[in-house]
């Protein structure tokens, strides 16, 4: 799980062009949106693309998107459960 979290951090930085952020700057439990990395709605869509492209995972229920994309930990948990 820890390995997946670290991999996700790197992928999020690359996919979202978080130029001045290092993987160690991301607390996997901190909310990605609003506070934390301050991501926006376009970033959320990019994360959905990332999940589909890299992990073949689709968020089937849009209502659960907010919960799944809450933090790096919740994304990792979603991938783990569905793999």
Task: Give the footprint of other proteins on this chain (CB under 8 A).
Answer: 16-21, 38, 42-43, 45-46, 49, 52-53
Distance CA 40, CA 56 (A): 23
Smallest gap from Cβ 49 to other proteins, in A, equals 5
Kindly state the smallest distance separating residue 35's Cβ from other proteins, in Å.
14
* DSSP string over 21-82: --GGG--TTS-SBSSTT-B-HHHHHHHHHHHHHHH------GGGHHHHTSSHHHHHHHHHHH
Return the number of the residue (8 or 18) whose C-beta is nearest other proteins: 18
Q: Please, which residue, 13 or 76, has the CB nearer to other proteins?
A: 13
Q: Which is nearer to other proteins, 1 or 66 (CB)?
A: 66
């Amino acid at each position: 799980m820890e390995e997946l979290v670290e991999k996700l951090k790197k992928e999020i930085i690359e996919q979202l062009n978080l130029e001045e952020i290092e993987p160690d700057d991301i607390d996997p439990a901190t909310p990605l949106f609003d506070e934390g990395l301050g991501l926006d709605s376009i970033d959320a869509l990019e994360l959905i693309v990332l999940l589909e492209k890299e992990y073949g995972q689709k968020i089937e229920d849009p209502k659960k998107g907010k919960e799944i994309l809450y933090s790096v930990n919740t994304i990792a948990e979603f991938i783990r459960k569905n793999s």
